[in-house]
Structure 1
Amino acid sequence: TGDINNSGEGGIYAELIRNRAFQYSDKFPVSLDAWHSFNNANLALNRLDTPLSKALPVSVTVSPGSNSSGPAGLFNDGFWGIDVRQQAYTGTFWVYGAYEGVFTAELRSALEDDKVFGSVEVESKAMAGEWVEHTFELVPGEDAPNSNNTFALLFDPAGLAEGEESLDFNLISLFPPTYKGRKNGLRVDIAEALAGLHPSMLRFPGGNMLEGLTNTTYWDWKDTLGPLKDRPGFQGVWGYQQTHGLGIMEYLEWAEDMELEIVVGVWAGLALDGGLTSEEDFQAVIDDGLDEIEFICGSVDTKWGAVRAELGHPEPFPLRYVEIGNEDWLAGYPAGWDSYKEYRFPLFLKAINEAYPDIVVISSGSTHDGYNPIPSPGIGDYHPYRTPNALVDEFDLFDNDSGHIVGELFAAHPMTHTLPAEGEFDPLYYVSGTNEDKGSYIWKGAVYNTTNHENVSVSVSFEGVQAGTQAQLTVLTNPGGDPFAYNDPHTGVNIVSKDTVVLSAGDGGAFEFQLPELSVAVLDTEKKEK
């Protein structure tokens, strides 16, 4: 995962309010971005002597306009709009200052004046000298015709205590229903679409995000723990500040809810600007990585396992794969890559193997990036940026090579071991293997251009598989025949046909079937023969 183009915040992370807590960093100064005055109210960023928290020191002061009547407040245009539907939205906001009366939370049209799709009154608990949290549920009475909508938070100036001229607000948050009903969770539509792809692993916290812009601004997993008011945020690497709302617990729950294999990336002492942690100072980096592993899979009797339990998940998460760093062959080359091979990866590998011998440790580079051999028992990550034709040329790249993961996404039918193949290639390209965890044999193939557009006859047999063994065959193809056709979610056009059948092995344990031109297929046995 990686928060690029607001694919995390503003994307799969369900928070609808942009710049909800006025977080900032050296790269991204504090601002009122996305916030606007309602009814000529005055908005000003403020650092109170009593901030909401050490992590969130800046609030917005809202005072009524001098020549206006009616409610005062502010509104937020979300991540360039808010989709409004007849469903329950849950919200929170914190207030500093004495106020009697009600606050009004509204979802409004940005195109039509005074068009309110949903509104709720929230009884004030605000008092002088304290930050007080308010919660609410808002159910619009109708769907908005488009996403050009805003969220407004209003109050009646007449309710201000004597001598008070303003109120301070912070951590203003609004969530639609979330995937699996998780608090602070994922957007339902995007999460369901992702789950529909049947992924099998989640690598987090992403690529460049893990490294950070500098060695003091990497993605610090410990900063993502606990209540939102205690998360300082993150100096993002793709052009915007991040809130840390999508933290390590949210990633782990994401993996749990979709039943995904966890591949956690631990920071390895290299930043995008080439900043490097020396070998003399590297033990602290290793210790932090071991703490993170303990947080994920340690028992409640361990220091960090106990922290996880306090956050509501006493059961350890399953963890079998840990990757050290991200693309260390890229940032700060050649010093970054040289240091990775000389001490950063070997020291991490040794420490993790000693503490967790069952965890597979992954290098952030491969043998084809100049790390050959990768120290045993580590494996490599082949992380290519290639054109389709180049990938075809690399079809046999890993024959007789050490173990690797390829890219950032396992297929829905992962293999733990590849098997030697006997047979011709072109126009059918294929790979076969086993999944030791599920006890199955797997074959994957793709058919490109065929002579006269004819089908290709396929016969697949695995050593040890007997006649009568069952396997599921899934074939994706484009029956229209146009090699340049594509799915268009905006118009609903779907040119892909999916067919799934159950085959039984014939004499000699062979599965027989045909594949059309421009198709891909997966064959997965029901159970490996003993």
Structure 2
Amino acid sequence: MLSSLLSCGVLASAIFASCAATVTTVSVDGTAAHSIPPLLFGQMFEASQYGDGGIYAELLQNRAFQQVKPNIIDALFGWAPINGASINVIADPIPLSGALPNSLELTIPSGSLGQVGFGNEGYWGINVNASWTYNASFYYRFPRASNFSGKLTVMLQSSIGVVYANASVPVSGSTTAWMQVMVHLTPTSSPVSTTNIFTVTVDGASAIGETINFAMFSLFPPTFKGRVNGLRMDIAQACFHLDSTQTLYDMKPSFFRFPGGNNLGQSFSTRWQWNATVGNLTDRPGRMGNWGYINTDGLGLLEYLYLCEDMEMEPIMAVWAGYSLDGASLPENDLAPYIQQAIDQINFVIGNPATSKPAALRASLGHPEPFHLQYVEIGNEDFLASESYMYRWKDFAEHLEATFPHLKFIATSHPFNHTLDPIPKQYDNHVYQTPGWFAENAFYYDSAERNGTYYFEGEYAVVSTNASDLFGKPFNGRLVYPNMQGSVGEAAFMTGLERNSDIVFAASYAPLLMNTANYQWSPNLIAFDASHVYPSTSFYTQQLFSLNRGTEYFPSTLPLENGTLYWSVTRDAPTNTVIIKIANTGVTAEEMLFELPFKSVHSTGNATVLSGSATANNSPETPNAVMPVISQIKTGKSFSYTAAAYSVNVLRVEAK
């Protein structure tokens, strides 16, 4: 005890005095080292019902019986009979379209009374809101002509039959060709519960013995920016826009990576094909996604592009490159048609309608002008098949670069891989790790060569606080929701991304969205259910960095590589605002002294702080447990600041 006190410079007679706290001094250089790249912080989708049942606003699950086997009970998931009706999914002898061969067959049994039909429970509930008008539609036909004349009643109701909205449409048994029904539903009240159903019924007594086939149901609430076939408002708002609801637009990301990493496909037959995701919804067959559920592909290539346009983001688009996550790679001699499909996909986005059929298709769908596109990713996580990627990268890159010399193509092998030809100028790097790993690797890119190669941190997240659980069975030690220990570790890593943003041009946390009722991966940036959105601690970390990135990076005293404090300093030149980001990964508060080189520094500034215990998180049970707090601080050319334990801090001060 005595020797430790003496080592702190404390006299033996003052044995009750505390050692002076260590102060970390940060001296900022007065000359900007480089500009902050405009795409530095963005987002990507992956897994956990992010599209169907997530940001895609369609409310009905299994709406068109896509990719299901007829005549089995499983084909009816999401649907249930009402009042003794007989329902079945059949391979319709006269299908609605070649893409949608199945229909729902409703038969009214003898002895039926009252309203008889079927209902859909939505994606684990339907949010009924009296301030909204819902657009409902479906197709129907009578497989055998009859003298029946009646009406179909379309309703939104509770699971116990309380009716919130209804509409009726006349139908005739003489209708053997497909007819579309479109109705508007405006609820009279807003139930708290989301255990509601969408129903279609007919008067049973008048329809006994009748059979009616149905196809391609749809139920849309109002969508983000009013887009037809658009996005769920609260999730889109959360992800991309700054307002009191804290949602996707709230983060103001600069880019969006799509169609999502592994969403490119589990196998050759189920790969994402752009041309099967555009045009009329009746022409989209859907596919089995690699996360265990069927994708309707209602959220298709054009919808992704509108998402980017509406959110004022730049797309980073991937093309399938001959490798599937089931471990198979196409032989080199078989690549030609897939390269052409990639060329067509890019032409759909940026081609000239006068010279390109895919571009002409885009124009016919209402967007004659090309979309903005700068980056194209060739494949996804091809470090898993590095041997075949050598020839696949070569063939795809050479053909795509020759066709689109103005675009930048991103390789998905391990970064710093010098075996690919042509040598990539951009790499995509993915890492899922522990809080400690991210803090320890805040200097990951510091030693990278400045040789014209640039890096995209396309996926990263803390997934566990225990390294042994990183790749074990899901949710066995894995985090379900991000917590402060993990979010601060990510923030430490992000200070390194910002410091090295002369070569790191973009970065996106992954995955973005998670339906709490059905998820295959955790944690995710934003959780949601049928009616609520739950931003995580990592969401707020991403938001703080995205909204406070500045335009130029200023060198400063470097953090200790094995310390607990990490920081970066930028300036927003148009507003003369110095922005200091601090991550304290330690268990105690840390004192810091900042020395700024500017001639004039305002005497006060703002501090936005996200802090909590190591395990603190935001969940449906505690949605606002940890949120940023803004306060005023004293500043100047030299000023002190205390960074709380497990905290992410953003300091803003005017300086010239």
**CA displacement at 1:429 relative to structure 2:** 1.7
Q: Distance in 2 between matches of 1:249 and 1:526?
A: 42
Counterpart of 2:582 (choices 446, 450, 454) is: 446
Counterpart of 1:311 (choices 362, 365, 376) is: 365
**CA displacement at 1:106 relative to structure 2:** 0.9
**Quick one: percent identity of the two aligned structures?**
34
Q: Distance in 1 between matches of 2:206 and 2:587?
A: 80
For residues 55-109 of structure 1, what are the alpha-carbon distances to aligned partners after superposition, in whole Å with 9 as ceiling and x for unaligned? 0011011111222222321111111221211121111100012653321111121
Does the alignment pair 1:323 with 2:377?
A: yes
Q: Distance in 2 between matches of 1:293 and 1:265?
A: 10
Q: Distance in 2 between matches of 1:237 and 1:451?
A: 40
Assess if the C-alpha contact under 8 Å between 1:28 and 1:235 holds in 2: no
Partner of 2:61: 18
Q: Distance in 1 between matches of 2:647 and 2:582?
A: 6
Secondary structure in 2 matching 1:130: coil
Partner of 1:35: 79
Change (3 A) 1:361 1:434: farther
Q: Distance in 2 between matches of 1:45 and 1:414?
A: 53
Q: Distance in 2 between matches of 1:27 and 1:513?
A: 69
Counterpart of 2:224 (choices 143, 155, 179) is: 179
Question: Aligned runs of 1:106-185 on 2, under 5 Å?
Answer: 106-110=155-159, 112=160, 114-124=161-171, 127-157=174-204, 165-185=210-230
**CA displacement at 1:230 relative to structure 2:** 0.6
Secondary structure in 2 matching 1:145: coil
Does the alignment pair 1:46 with 2:90?
A: yes
Q: Distance in 2 between matches of 1:67 and 1:134?
A: 27
Q: Distance in 2 between matches of 1:269 and 1:305?
A: 24
Q: Distance in 2 between matches of 1:501 and 1:259?
A: 31
What amino acid does structure 1 have at the position aligned with 2:65?
Answer: F
Secondary structure in 2 matching 1:91: strand
**CA displacement at 1:2 relative to structure 2:** 4.0
Partner of 2:496: none
In terms of mean alpha carbon deviation, does 96-105 or 195-204 score higher? 96-105
Counterpart of 2:103 (choices 46, 59, 76) is: 59
Does the alignment pair 1:389 with 2:436?
A: yes
For residues 482-516 of structure 1, what are the alpha-carbon distances to aligned partners after superposition, in whole Å with 9 as ceiling and x for unaligned? 44433455445343334388999x8xxx7967462
Counterpart of 2:593 (choices 457, 470, 473) is: 457
Partner of 2:630: 499
What amino acid does structure 2 have at the position aligned with 1:406?
Answer: E
Assess if the C-alpha contact under 8 Å between 1:365 and 1:380 holds in 2: yes
Secondary structure in 2 matching 1:239: coil
Does the alignment pair 1:352 with 2:400?
A: yes
What amino acid does structure 1 have at the position aligned with 2:567?
Answer: Y
CA RMSD of superposed structures (Å): 3.6
**CA displacement at 1:265 relative to structure 2:** 1.0
Assess if the C-alpha contact under 8 Å between 1:503 and 1:511 holds in 2: no
Assess if the C-alpha contact under 8 Å between 1:18 and 1:78 holds in 2: yes
What amino acid does structure 1 have at the position aligned with 2:128?
Answer: V
What amino acid does structure 1 have at the position aligned with 2:233?
Answer: V
Assess if the C-alpha contact under 8 Å between 2:589 and 2:642 holds in 1: no
Assess if the C-alpha contact under 8 Å between 1:63 and 1:72 holds in 2: no
Assess if the C-alpha contact under 8 Å between 2:60 and 2:121 holds in 1: yes
Partner of 1:101: 150
For residues 291-332 of structure 1, what are the alpha-carbon distances to aligned partners after superposition, in whole Å with 9 as ceiling and x for unaligned? 1111112233232221111111122111111111111112xx
Partner of 2:327: 274
For residues 326-356 of structure 1, what are the alpha-carbon distances to aligned partners after superposition, in whole Å with 9 as ceiling and x for unaligned? 11112xxxxx21111x221233222232232
**CA displacement at 1:267 relative to structure 2:** 0.4
Change (3 A) 1:352 1:511: farther
Q: Distance in 2 between matches of 1:405 and 1:417?
A: 19
Q: Distance in 2 between matches of 1:458 and 1:357?
A: 46
Change (3 A) 1:395 1:128: same
Change (3 A) 1:205 1:323: same
Change (3 A) 1:56 1:526: farther
**CA displacement at 1:200 relative to structure 2:** 1.9
Secondary structure in 1 matching 2:432: coil
TM-score between both structures, scaled by the size of structure 2: 0.69
What amino acid does structure 2 have at the position aligned with 1:403?
Answer: Y
Q: Distance in 2 between matches of 1:153 and 1:372?
A: 60
Secondary structure in 2 matching 1:430: strand
Assess if the C-alpha contact under 8 Å between 2:591 and 2:640 holds in 1: no
Change (3 A) 1:310 1:28: farther
Aligned residues: 505
Does the alignment pair 1:80 with 2:124?
A: yes
Counterpart of 1:203 (choices 257, 260, 284) is: 257
Change (3 A) 1:217 1:491: closer
Assess if the C-alpha contact under 8 Å between 2:581 and 2:650 holds in 1: yes
Assess if the C-alpha contact under 8 Å between 1:25 and 1:234 holds in 2: no
What amino acid does structure 1 have at the position aligned with 2:116?
Answer: A
Change (3 A) 1:43 1:381: same
Change (3 A) 1:348 1:525: farther
Q: Distance in 1 between matches of 2:647 and 2:276?
A: 46
What amino acid does structure 2 have at the position aligned with 1:76?
Answer: N
Assess if the C-alpha contact under 8 Å between 2:410 and 2:425 holds in 1: yes
In terms of mean alpha carbon deviation, does 354-363 or 288-297 score higher? 354-363
Q: Distance in 2 between matches of 1:376 and 1:417?
A: 29
Partner of 1:520: 648
What amino acid does structure 2 have at the position aligned with 1:428?
Answer: L
**Structure 2: runs of 5 or more not aligned:** 1-43, 238-246, 460-506, 509-544
Counterpart of 2:307 (choices 247, 251, 254) is: 254
What amino acid does structure 2 have at the position aligned with 1:360?
Answer: K
